[in-house]
Amino acid sequence: MSLLSLSDVGIGWQDGPPVLEHLGFDMATSERVGLVGPNGAGKSSLFQTIAAILPTRAGQISFDGTPVRAGRFNPKLAMVFQNADDQLFCPTLAEDVAYGARNLGLPAPEVAARTTQALAECGLTGLEDQPVHKLSGGEKRRACIAGALVMRPALLLLDEPSAALDLRQRRNMIDLLSKLPTAMMIASHDLEFLLELCPRILLIDQGRLCADGAAHDILSDAALMAQHGQEVPASLARG
């Protein structure tokens, strides 16, 4: 059974035109999938629909064998937003990371243990009492991921996790994500970033899924990439 399954799904905002139509694909447990496409193609809308923030306009999404219904929270499916400041709101880092586990009604010792583990996994140990507004951009991104990991999700949806990071923080992000056993879908314009992390790529444009396959095959196809406003990554172009 697939971890995530989309069947003939339509996506769009209420009273607006459709963003994506007839969308269908499956994701396996622990699979890493990159999501690419031009600005406005619907990457964030797709994430918000999978995460049950936005209702489907057609078709069905199933997660772990259960239909996804808008407004129904599932801690096993976590989304990390593109702008970290949209996600961090507690006074200190430890409080923010603990929030999800505490909201699940877990006993205090379990919340503390999960928080400590998530901070360690994200390289944030020692910053527990730091006010979130004083964290660096890279630390804020990793704090958002820690806040998702504390709920022990089966799937992470990551919206532009490398955007605006310097080279060191970008490498830290790649190292962090590469070590996580969790299934993840990563939307990004940083195609080299996706090449390092995701064996599979989905390309969306003009309201539909245009390509689904091996990352090397899709990202090295110059004609396909140009047709959808993308460029072949430098590492593949050199090859």
Tens of pLDDT, residues 8-65: 999 998 888 999 999 999 999 999 999 999 999 999 999 999 999 999 999 999 999 9
Q: Give whole-number Cα distances, 34 to 65, 96, 189, 192, 208, in Å.
A: 22, 27, 10, 11, 16
Residue 158: CA count within 13 A, CB half-sphere? 36
Q: In terms of domains, do 44 and 89 share one?
A: no
Q: Give whole-number Cα distances, 148 to 9, 31, 76, 81, 92, in Å.
A: 26, 17, 9, 11, 16
Q: Are 37 and 204 in contact (CB under 8 A)?
A: yes
Q: Give whole-number Cα distances, 17 to 13, 14, 22, 230, in Å.
A: 7, 8, 14, 24
Of residues 138, 145, 136, the one with CA closest to residue 96: 145
Q: What is the pLDDT of residues 69-103, one digit of tens each?
A: 999 989 999 999 999 999 999 999 999 999 999 99
Share of the chain above pLDDT 70, in %: 100
User: What's the whole-number mean pLDDT along residues 127-152?
Assistant: 96
- Amino acid found at 45: S
Q: In terms of domains, do 208 and 225 share one?
A: yes
Q: In terms of domains, do 82 and 48 share one?
A: no
pLDDT at residue 5 is higher than 60 = yes
Q: What is the pLDDT of residues 109-120, one digit of tens each?
A: 999 999 999 999
At 239, the pLDDT band (50, 70, 90 cuts) reads: low
Q: What is the pLDDT of residue 1?
A: 73
Q: In terms of domains, do 66 and 82 share one?
A: no
37: phi then psi, degrees, rounded to nearest 5: 160, 160
Number of domains in the chain: 2
Q: In terms of domains, do 204 and 101 share one?
A: no
At 129, the pLDDT band (50, 70, 90 cuts) reads: very high
Of residues 142, 96, 97, 131, the one with CA closest to residue 116: 97
User: What's the whole-number mean pLDDT along residues 142-156?
Assistant: 97
Q: In terms of domains, do 228 and 169 share one?
A: yes
Q: In terms of domains, do 64 and 96 share one?
A: no
Q: In terms of domains, do 126 and 139 share one?
A: yes
> Could you tell me the CATH number of the domain that includes residue 228?
3.40.50.300
Q: In terms of domains, do 216 and 138 share one?
A: no
Q: In terms of domains, do 148 and 223 share one?
A: no
Pairwise CA distance, residues 144 & 147, whole Å: 5
What is the residue range of 135's domain?
A: 77-152
Q: What is the pLDDT of residue 15?
A: 82
User: What's the whole-number mean pLDDT along residues 123-129?
Assistant: 97
Q: What is the pLDDT of residues 188-231, one digit of tens each?
A: 999 999 999 999 999 999 999 999 999 999 999 999 999 999 99
Q: In terms of domains, do 60 and 161 share one?
A: yes
Q: What is the pLDDT of residue 21?
A: 97
DSSP reduced 3-state for 206: coil
Q: In terms of domains, do 171 and 146 share one?
A: no
Q: What is the pLDDT of residue 135?
A: 95
